[in-house]
Amino acid sequence: MIRFYYHPTPNPAKIALFLEEAALPYETIPVDTSKGEQHAPSFRAINPNGKVPAIVDTDGPGGKEVRVFDSTAILIYLGEKTGKFLGAPEDRPELLSWVLFLASGLGPFSGQAVHFQFAAPEGLNYAVNRYRREAERHYQVLNDHLEGRRFIVGDAYTIADISAWGWLDRASRVRKGADDPLGPYPNVKRLFETVEARPAVARAREVGKDHQFKNVTDEETRRALFPSNYPPAT
Ligand SMILES: N[C@@H](CCC(=O)N[C@@H](CS)C(=O)NCC(=O)O)C(=O)O
């Protein structure tokens, strides 16, 4: 059994999709990050970084219970555990390269682009431009790579496509105000639509729907999500 620590945001969404694709038995445990539940000591014992997603696999290596945190680590772990969605062995260098490109580039720059366009004080044009344009540059790199390709790695649907889907789903926020946010990146748009059409996506989108997550942004939310904006008094 896998315990899946979840909030309806892009990085946990990747894991919801993998779990549904692989038909692994799992229990969803809501972590309401807007209420600060990611900072509870009981959750920090599972992810010392205090973010979702994280999993606990009660049947880890050697039959022991293990924790795994960070969406990319979880995708690689579950891929290896199940032998699914890792592509061909000869494509492993490409798989690792693209998965880490998404983990360290497209994902974080997308996240910061959303932050500076929706959460930060207005008027920080340098930061908005920096993060949005870097997110767009990563879209372009992926778009160029996808020319003539159906999936990111080899001929197969892999954890790289699952990972990309999580953040591409938020393209309208990354590219705030764009009519067709993925329009300038037709190969990326095609990949997103290919993944989006998979039946597992509809199931992944249902994950956590039975839980009422906090959906207002107030002072508690800001302190929970952006604690480094509130340094302790010295
Ligand atoms: N590198 C991490 C990033 C995780 C992350 O930023 N998660 C967000 C949700 S998408 C979160 O937990 N935000 C709440 C917080 O930062 O306190 C991963 O890929 O899992």
Any atom of ligand 1 within 6 Å of the Cβ of 38 = yes
| pLDDT score recorded for residue 233 | 85
The predicted-structure confidence for 195-224, as pLDDT tens digits, reads as follows 999 999 999 999 999 999 999 999 999 999
CA distance 88 to 212: 40
pLDDT (tens digit per residue) in 136-195: 999 999 999 999 999 999 999 999 999 999 999 999 999 999 999 999 999 999 999 999
What is this structure's pTM?
0.98
- Is residue 47 lining ligand 1, measured as CB closer than 6 Å? no
Looking at ligand 1, which residue's alpha carbon is closest to its atom 1? 70
The answer for 16, left when phi > 0, alpha when psi is -120 to 50, beta otherwise, is: alpha
Shortest-distance atom of ligand 1 to CA 70:
20
CA–CA dist 127, 111 (Å, integer) = 12
Distance 147 CA to ligand 1 centre (A): 30
- Strand arrangement of the beta sheet that strand 2-6 belongs to: 26-30, 2-6, 54-57, 66-69
**9 close to ligand 1 (CB < 6 Angstrom):** yes
